[in-house]
Amino acid sequence: MSKRRSSPRRLHLHCATLIALGSAFSGAVPAAAAGDELALVDEVIVTARKREERAIEVPDSITAFAAAEIEERRIDRIDDVLGLTANLHVVHDQDPATNIMVIRGIGTSRLLASAVAFAVDGVILPDSDAFMLDLSDAQSIEVLRGPQGGLYGRNAIAGVVNVTTRRPTARREGELRASYGNENSGSAFAAISGPLAGERLMGRLTAKYQKTDGFIDNRFGGDALDRDRRSRVTGRLLFTPTEALEVDLRGAWLDQKGGANPLTAFDVLGTTGGRISSGLAGIEPEHDDPSESLWRMKNAAVVINWETAAGRVTSTTAYDDIEAGFGGDLDQTALHVARVHQMRTTEGFSQELRFTSPGERRFRYIAGAYYQQTDRAVVTNGALDFCYLLPLPECPTPPGTPTGLTPVPLNSTTGDFRQWAGFLQASYDLTERLELTAALRYDNDRRTQQDLLTGRRDRASFSDTQPKLSLAWKPTRALTVYGTFSEGYKSGGFNPPPVPGGSYELVVRQEQTRSHELGVKSELLDERLLVNAAAFYTDYENPQIFQLELTTGGQVAINGRKASIRGAELEIAARPSPRVQLHLAGGYADARIDDFNGTALFVDNRLPNAPEYTLNLGGRFVAKRLAAGELLLRVDYNHTGRIYFAEDNEIYQPAYATVDAQIALESERWAASIWGRNIFSEHYVVSAFSRSTAPVLLGALGIDIYQIAPGAQFGVELRYRF
């Protein structure tokens, strides 16, 4: 029997009981006593402008998560925050490393540069294959929305994810976490931190192991296609030989093996006209070929901070080595007619040198230079039954007779990328309450690609200047009103060399955006209520749109000409009593194609993978205060608007909603929790391709393909600090 179908039914009673029990507890919370002070909403400190500042004073839309919230919400990967962040959507499919991150309607095309810059402790990750790294040891996570090229450079065209990990501590301390859930899913995390030679040398070491038997069954063989085993170790040394000098050395290693490509094949267009109903989203895959994936990462960085009378000099040097790949059924059916295997390797080196002036002065600035070198290879091989798929004259009759698989080398290229940049950001207090900030960055990206099948070698250069201008009025410490204009740029790239009559070009043009934003940030009712709101408009040129192309391994990109995005965001955090915290995060993004190819084709269609809106409503309720700790309930309702998966808007996922819940008993040193995600097992899909995107394969079989969400997940977790 299918695990995905049976497990949610077994859990519904338990999950409903969990919510009802928690609601009863929260309803029993007494009103605050006269002498019981109302706790304030926690003040948020961010590093979005590469210096520590109060979030309310930064003229950008930022959603930030502090260490306590990351731990309590069990945020392990960046897609764990998508339901909690306005206008953020993450597509995680194909294999454990593959992802598309969409902010305010702007996303990434597979195998090209990301539209979102992902920074860990100040280091920009060189490839989106590294974005799904484990976040268990994060001190803070910031999601910056809108173009951030002025400081973060190319590929921050949609925004930035800025992660800061925990630093070594001056006293010895540690942490242990363990969890276990349905489908034999579990994880174990350990961290130890403390002095190695007094406060001059401190260290931190973490290790994590996690596994799951998988939530998406293969109807053909019964094995789960999303099974996963992974291990990760990180280490960090903090050396301060003098009061003015700090050397921060970091390293990490990850190894993963599991399943991949859990796509369902079904005649969606012929059945519903393109709407993927909850019934279709409940159909599990049926693959005749086994699936497998691997993902390995090694990275190291050294950050040197030197404090001078004039300001801080920072040198950041980083190295990353990433391997990711998958193999599995290409036709996504029980027919033995197509198989694929892909391997991607990325090796990156980067160096940044930055000067930051003191933050308490009226005139503040940051200036720096950046260099990155990346080598990337993509090797794709397939095996096809040509006689089954094509009416070739030498094939046996009748047409469609299986004759066996023939190996076919597909997209296989190596790339060499060299990027350099210079940047400057300055803020000046025009008055005590009015701040003007201007930033300017120039990026130059030179790219070379060699096709391993033909030996062809191609070169292209991409460059742009990215300005940003913000005016922030701060009439009080609790209110900021701002306006921002910013431009973003994302490098172009290469497709595999086109075949005769191909529908795509070799060089993919670079993207550019111009964005206008008006916003307000406020702390009301003695800081018990935070309200942030923003409205924005973005001109989007040359959007890079993913296409399936079987002759090259299935993955190319084409450029549309122009799109525009209009939207708004509202975030509210409230603490009406010492025991109750409430939050709302809502976003609307109308992302539409204005000109696709100079004709009326696709005009006014929505951009792929861009939800019309996102909404999160939730609360944290302290049900009882016991001698052993606090008994609390957390509930989150997440609603996502309609999503189209291609520029033709043929196939789409209707709006859907999920509910997450948790009951925990927490003390200062330990915590025990029962948690559930998508507890009512809402059926929806995360990606889809219609037959028109790959007529040679999907069209010949009369199918469309899509990846279903995993259904309900639940478990228990124990945490202990020492």
DSSP assignment of 564-629 equals EEEEEEEEEEEEEETTEEEEEEEEEEEEEEEESSSSSTTTTPBPTT--SEEEEEEEEEEEEEETTE
Task: Determine the Cα–Cα distance for residues 703 and 695; give it in Å rounded to an integer.
Answer: 10
Confidence grade of residue 716 (pLDDT, cut at 50, 70, 90): very high
pTM of model > 0.75: yes
Radius of gyration of the chain (CA): 26
Q: How confident is the model over 42-52, as pLDDT tens digits?
A: 678 999 999 99
Rounded alpha-carbon distances, angstroms, from residue 495 to 343, 405, 415, 545:
16, 26, 11, 12
* Residue 568, pLDDT above cutoff 50: yes
- pLDDT score for 698: 84
- Position 26: which residue type? S
DSSP assignment of 662-711 equals EEEEE-SSEEEEEEEESTT----EEEEE-GGGSIIIIIHHT-EEEEE---
Task: Determine the Cα–Cα distance for residues 579 and 621; give it in Å rounded to an integer.
Answer: 6
- pLDDT score for 347: 98
Domains of the chain: 3-345+354-721 (2.40.170.20)
- pLDDT score for 207: 98
- Give SS3 for 521: strand
- pLDDT score for 202: 98
Q: How confident is the model over 467-514, as pLDDT tens digits?
A: 999 999 999 999 999 999 999 999 999 988 887 766 788 999 999 999
What value does the mean pLDDT of the chain take?
90
Residue appearing with tokens 């599995």: 328
Q: How confident is the model over 198-232, as pLDDT tens digits?
A: 999 999 999 999 999 999 999 998 889 999 999 99
- pLDDT score for 554: 60
Residue appearing with tokens 């549309």: 560
Q: How confident is the model over 595-609, as pLDDT tens digits?
A: 999 999 999 999 999
Ranking 107-111, 240-244, 326-330 by mean pLDDT, the lowest is: 107-111
User: Do 437 and 425 meet the contact criterion of CB atoms below 8 Å apart?
Assistant: yes
Confidence grade of residue 441 (pLDDT, cut at 50, 70, 90): very high
Ranking 133-137, 409-413, 549-553 by mean pLDDT, the lowest is: 549-553
**Percent of the chain surpassing pLDDT 90:** 77
Rounded alpha-carbon distances, angstroms, from residue 72 to 251, 375, 483, 665:
26, 38, 34, 11
* Residue 587, pLDDT above cutoff 90: yes
Residue appearing with tokens 């009981």: 17
Q: How confident is the model over 261-299, as pLDDT tens digits?
A: 899 999 999 999 999 999 999 999 999 988 999 999 999
Residue 534's beta-bridge partner residues? 519, 569
- Give SS3 for 129: helix
* Residue 88, pLDDT above cutoff 50: yes
- pLDDT score for 403: 81
Q: How confident is the model over 380-432, as pLDDT tens digits?
A: 999 988 888 777 788 876 766 778 899 988 889 999 999 999 999 999 999 99
**Percent of the chain surpassing pLDDT 70:** 93
Q: How confident is the model over 668-706, as pLDDT tens digits?
A: 899 999 999 999 999 999 999 998 877 777 888 899 999
Q: How confident is the model over 302-357, as pLDDT tens digits?
A: 999 999 999 999 999 999 999 999 999 988 899 888 899 999 999 999 999 999 99
- Position 235: which residue type? G
Residue appearing with tokens 């539209």: 115
Ranking 59-63, 390-394, 555-559 by mean pLDDT, the lowest is: 390-394
Q: What is the β-pairing status of strands 99-103 and 45-46?
A: unpaired
* Residue 586, pLDDT above cutoff 60: yes
User: 363: which residues sit within 8 A by CB, 6+ positions away?
Assistant: 357, 426, 427, 428, 429
* Residue 32, pLDDT above cutoff 50: no
- pLDDT score for 410: 84
User: 569: which residues sit within 8 A by CB, 6+ positions away?
Assistant: 61, 86, 87, 145, 532, 533, 534, 535, 536, 585, 586, 587, 588
- Give SS3 for 388: helix
User: 567: which residues sit within 8 A by CB, 6+ positions away?
Assistant: 87, 104, 105, 535, 536, 587, 588, 589, 590, 591
Task: Average the pLDDT over 360-373 and give the result.
Answer: 96
* Residue 112, pLDDT above cutoff 90: no
